[in-house]
């Protein structure tokens, strides 16, 4: 096996690992946000930029 193939395999593994971590992070963030939104009794939901909107 050539060195280039090893480099490509290592790079592909690194990309797959990063995508996996990002995917798990998004999933956990979504679940935590869902739980907080469900448990919160406040009618104002803060957005990512700090602006609050009134829920309908």
Provide the residue ranges of all domains of the chain, joining segments of one domain with +: 20-56
Higher pLDDT: 26 or 44? It is 26
Q: What DSSP assignment string belongs to 8-46?
A: HHHHHHHHHHHHHHHHHHHHHHHHHHHHHHHH---SEEE
For the cut 70, the answer to whether the pLDDT of residue 22 exceeds it is yes
For the cut 90, the answer to whether the pLDDT of residue 42 exceeds it is no
Model confidence pTM above 0.85: no
Say if residues 52 and 45 touch (Cβ distance below 8 Å).
Answer: yes
For the cut 90, the answer to whether the pLDDT of residue 32 exceeds it is no
Higher pLDDT: 49 or 29? It is 29
> How far is it, in rounded angstroms, from Cα 55 to Cα 3?
57
Q: What is the pLDDT of residue 36?
A: 80
> How far is it, in rounded angstroms, from Cα 2 to Cα 10?
13
């Amino acid at each position: 096996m050539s060195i280039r193939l090893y480099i490509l395999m290592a790079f592909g593994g690194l990309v797959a690992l990063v995508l996996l971590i990002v995917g798990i992070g998004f999933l956990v963030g979504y679940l935590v946000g869902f739980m907080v939104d469900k448990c919160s009794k406040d009618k104002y939901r803060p957005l990512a930029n700090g602006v609050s909107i009134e829920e309908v």
